[in-house]
Amino acid sequence: MAVEVNKEECIGCSACVSACPFGAIIMDDSKAVITDGCTVCGACVDTCPVGAIIHAVEKKECAINKDDYKGVWVYIEQFEGQARNVGYELLNEGRKLADAMKQELSAVLIGDNVNHLTKEAIARGADKVYLVEGAEFNHFSTDAYTITLTDLINTYKPSVILMGATIDGRDLGPRVACRVTTGLTADCTNLGIDEETGLVAWTRPAFGGNIMATILCPDHRPQMGTIRPNVFKRAEPDFTRKGEVIQVASKVKVEDIRTKLIDIIKVCTASCNLEEANIIVSGGRGMCKPENFALIEQLASVLGGAVGSSRAAVDAGWMPALHQVGQTGKTVGPQVYFACGISGAIQHVAGMSSSDIVIAINKDPEANIFKLANYGIVGDVMEVIPALIEEFKKIK
Ligand code: FAD
Ligand code: SF4
Ligand code: SF4
- The 3-class secondary structure across the chain, one letter per residue, is CEEEECCCCCCCCCHHHHHCCCCCEEEECCEEEECCCCCCCCCCHHHCCCCCEEEECCCCCCCCCHHHCCCEEEEECEECCEECHHHHHHHHHHHHHHHHHCCCEEEEEEECCCHHHHHHHHHCCCCEEEEEECHHHCCCCHHHHHHHHHHHHHHHCCCEEEEECCHHHHHHHHHHHHHCCCCEEEEECEEEECCCCCCEEEEEEECCCCEEEEECCCCCCCEEEEECCCCCCCCCCCCCCCCEEEECCCCCCHHHCCCCCCCCCCCCCHHHCHHHCCEEEEECHHHCCHHHHHHHHHHHHHHCCEEEECHHHHHCCCCCHHHEECCCCECCCCCEEEEECCCCCHHHHCCCCCCCEEEEEECCCCCCHHHHCCEEEECCHHHHHHHHHHHHHHHC
350 phi and psi angles, rounded to 5 deg: -60, -25
Q: Report which protein residue has its CA nearest ligand 1's atom 26.
A: 326
Arithmetic mean of pLDDT, 201-218 = 86
Buried b (16+ CB within 10 A) or exposed e, 171-182: ebbbbbbeebeb
Give the pLDDT band (50/70/90) at residue 276: confident
Q: Is the shortest distance between the CB of 348 and ligand 1 below 6 Å?
A: yes
Q: How confident is the model at residue 40 (pLDDT cuts 50, 70, 90)?
A: confident
The stretch 294-310 carries a mean pLDDT of 95
pLDDT band per the 50, 70, 90 thresholds, residue 58 = low
Distance CA 293, CA 307 (A): 9
Cα(208) to ligand 2 centroid in Å equals 17
Q: Is the pLDDT of residue 208 over 90?
A: no
Rg (CA), the chain: 24
In terms of Cβ atoms closer than 10 Å to its own Cβ (0-12, 13-18, 19+), residue 242 is: exposed
Question: Stretch 274-293: mean pLDDT, rounded?
Answer: 95
Strands 128-133 and 105-111: parallel
CA of 33 to the centre of ligand 3 (A): 9
pLDDT in tens, 124-142: 999 999 999 999 999 999 9
* Residue 62 pLDDT greater than 70, yes or no: no
Type of residue numbered 96: K
**Residues 43-47: what's their mean pLDDT?**
91
| pLDDT given at position 280 | 97
Quote the CA–CA distance of 381 and 362 in Å, as a whole number.
7
> Residues with beta carbon inside 6 Å of ligand 2?
3, 20, 22, 24-25, 34, 38-44
Ligand showing the shortest atom-to-Cα distance for residue 48? 3
Give percent of the chain above pLDDT 90.
Answer: 85
CA-based nearest residue to 307, from 263, 345, 270: 270
User: Per-residue confidence at 389, pLDDT binned at 50, 70, 90?
Assistant: very high
- Looking at residue 52, what is its pLDDT? 95
13 Cα to the center of ligand 3, angstroms? 5
pLDDT > 90? residue 151: yes
pLDDT at 211 over 70: yes
Domain 2-56: state its class: alpha beta
Q: Which CATH number fits domain 66-256: 3.65.10.10, 3.40.1190.20, 3.50.50.60, 3.40.50.620?
A: 3.40.50.620
Mean pLDDT, rounded, for 193-207: 92
> Mutate which of 293, 296, 343, 349 to test ligand 1's pocket (most atoms within 8 Å of Cβ)?
343
Intervals of CATH 3.40.50.620 along the chain:
66-256
CATH 3.40.50.1220 occupies which residues in the chain?
Answer: 270-395
Which residue's alpha carbon is at the smallest distance from atom 2 of ligand 3? 48
What is d(CA 363, CA 358) in angstroms, rounded to the nearest whole number? 16
What's the average model confidence in pLDDT over 72-101? Answer: 96
Tell whether the model's pLDDT for residue 237 goes beyond 70. Answer: yes
Where in the chain do CATH 3.30.70.20 domains reside?
2-56
- Averaged pLDDT for residues 238-259: 96
Give the type of residue at 382: M
Residue nearest to atom 4 of ligand 2 (CA): 38
What separation, in Å, do the N-terminal and C-terminal C-alpha atoms of the chain show? 61
Atom of ligand 1 nearest to the CA of 343: 9
For ligand 2, pick from 5, 20, 26, 47 the residue to mutate: most ligand atoms within 8 Å of CB. 20
Distance CA 110, CA 76 (A): 8
CA of 58 to the centre of ligand 3 (A): 23
Task: Give the number of whichever ligand sits closest to the CA of residue 368.
Answer: 1
* Cα(22) to centroid(ligand 2), Å: 7
Cα 143 from chain centre? 22
CA distance 91 to 104: 12
Return d(Cα 61, Cα 318) in angstroms, integer.
Answer: 52
Ligand nearest to the CA of 34: 2
User: Is beta strand 31-34 parallel, antiparallel or unpaired with respect to 25-28?
Assistant: antiparallel
One-letter amino acid for residue 271 of the chain: S
pLDDT of residue 94: 98
Compute the average pLDDT of residues 291-320. Answer: 96
Residue 265: what pLDDT? 82
**Residue 318: exposed, middle, or buried by beta-carbon count in 10 A (0-12, 13-18, 19+)?**
buried
On whether the CB atoms of residues 214 and 352 are closer than 8 A, the answer is no
Homologous superfamily (CATH) of 270-395 is TPP-binding domain (3.40.50.1220)
Q: Which residues, judged by CB distance below 6 Å to any ligand atom, belong to the binding site of ligand 3?
A: 5, 10-16, 32, 47-48, 50, 52-53
74: pLDDT strictly greater than 70:
yes
Q: Which residue has the higher pLDDT, 207 or 145?
A: 145
Strand partners, 283: 309, 340
